[in-house]
Chains A and B, each alone.
Chain A
């Protein structure tokens, strides 16, 4: 029982990390069909933000709190820059954005190596997050609980923005029908930029959170990007709901398979499950149905 709860929590924790990483991706992929391979490097930028802030603010706890909005800003601005300089020229060639943003990712990784050095940098976790939390029946690491809470908060905030604000209505309008949205007077240019800013900002927050779990280095993003994309594919585009379910589903599955086999076999098993799942629902868990031929 103890072990089962431990596995369950490990799965939820992994799921929350995947969710943070995939949330912004699903937004940009859903709205624009853009596959942003540099999303992982925006996460890396968020992680380095914590490192830089810790150089100024001695208290690790305060540094973390400051880093969350700052990481959002860093990731968001990088995303905005990418959108303005490159991606907006390429909306009619979504597959090619994948390769272009991969090039951007390579460059950003190398920038990180040249600025911060190739080895991982040391990011301290606040003392109040380094211990465990006693839930009565089991002990769980405080950092993982914090990330779980952060991902829930991020989903909640995004849901509020999407459903309650005019920006959200515009974003959803553009996701469902770009041409129609344009004809009814929504500036798709502005909406695209803002969406990219928010989606990339979420990557920054994910990066901040990841400093609590593992080492912070130039390849931090690459370790998560493939899984994050798998979440987006399994979840279906254009709906937060699907991303949430897919992230926790994949996280739990990975943890369960790991429990019964090895970590590497678990990865393969998860991949197989996703492919099989797409046999049943080729468009992911949720999809917006349209009448168009494509």
Chain B
């Protein structure tokens, strides 16, 4: 029960910091930057669920992030172009005709649904194919990475229909709101922060539920769970799909906040970079992944501006040191200390 109160306090602190403190002290530019980090944090929450609790080392979250982002970006391009208009880049590189598979995304409701459903369905399909056949561990990690590679290559090859290497950018409005207006930019931050808090509540409920306990059981002894009458594949697919949906939502929020989505943000390298914050924060903790992701993104922005080469060394060293020597991440250092004090 004591743990439960600590979690409530932790959640309240995060909510206060994001919704009250940050908007009060940060400039518009910094707040928008924090909005981007919050998007990464949403992805991280999902990774914490799939990897930390479910043991699925997913190296392809960029795919789901990208699916959500591109769906949103397509809608924004279409609505900027007007009811029957053609997005600018298509006139430049393509035939000047909107491809049929773009058309549904003119509709805002379809867009919002697709942001959640498209990544979920892809994850469900892959999950069915992989987990049901007991492909797991390293095999799953490698397949998920190959998926990220294939996805990025696919996008790069489609200059005329999806923007190729340039990606999609230059959005002017967001569901009717002018994206150049600072007030609307602040609103976007609140939406992102609110979404992160909502996602934290979702995983919190999952972790304290019976499903959460079962997921840990599957992570640690997948075969044993079978003999208790469960199909572990189903248990894993649920966590994987939820993680994918979270990444999709994060990608969709990323697009209006940052103003661009391109293959460089969804491939192998960014997909694996999502993991470092989760590892630092503590992969199986409730708040660790989100906080770790924000901290790492913050460090990257401050460090790589002034010392780009140093940042890469730093990031490499983080992977090595944290994963090799602190597999439970920094957030558990605190609890180890308290336990020491209690036992002393």
Contacts and interface: CB of A to CB of B under 8 A. Distances in A.
A262 B158 CA distance: 10
Nearest to A108: B316
Contacts of A100: 319-320, 323-324
B141 A35 contact: yes
Q: Which of B134, B151, B153, B268 has the most CB of A within 10 A?
A: B153
B22 interface: no
A145 interface: no
A107 B313 contact: yes
Interface string A210-248: 000000000000100011011011000000000000000
A282 B133 contact: yes
A230 B153 CA distance: 16
Contact of A278 (B135, B151, B158): B135
Given A229-B145, A268-B150, A268-B153, A106 B137 contact: no
A265 B157 contact: yes
Nearest to B59: A98
Interface stretch (A61-69, A86-94, A135-143): A86-94
Contacts of B315: 103, 106
Contacts of A276: 129
B317 A107 contact: yes
B122 interface: no
A264 interface: yes
Interface string B159-192: 0000000000000000000000000000000000
A279 B150 contact: no
Grouping DSSP codes into helix (H, G, I), strand (E, B) and loop, the B interface class, with mixed when no group exceeds half, is helix
B309 A103 contact: no
B57 A95 contact: yes
Contacts of B316: 103-107, 110
B21 interface: no
B33 interface: no
A96 B63 CA distance: 21
A93 B309 CA distance: 30
A229 B134 contact: no
A294 B223 contact: yes
Interface residues of A, number: 46
A264 B157 contact: yes
B15 interface: no
A220 to B, nearest CB: 15
Contacts of A106: 312-313, 315-316, 319
A90 B321 CA distance: 12
Contacts of B137: 94-95
B137 to A, nearest CB: 6
Contacts of B135: 278, 282
B141 to A, nearest CB: 6
Contacts of A262: 157
B295 interface: no
B146 A226 contact: yes
B73 interface: no
A178 interface: no
Nearest to A103: B319
Given A110-B313, A114-B309, A229-B145, A102 B272 contact: yes
Contacts of B59: 98
Contact of A110 (B133, B147, B309): B309
Nearest to A264: B157
Contact of B134 (A271, A274, A282): A282
Interface in B306-330: 309, 312-313, 315-320, 323-324, 327
Given A265-B154, A275-B143, A96 B268 contact: no
Nearest to B128: A279
Interface of B: 55, 57, 59, 126, 129-130, 133-135, 137-139, 141-143, 145-147, 149-151, 153-154, 156-158, 223, 268-269, 272, 275-276, 279, 309, 312-313, 315-320, 323-324, 327
Interface of A: 29, 33, 35, 86, 89-90, 93-96, 98-100, 102-107, 109-110, 113-114, 222, 226-227, 229-230, 232-233, 262-265, 267-268, 270-271, 274-276, 278-279, 282, 293-294
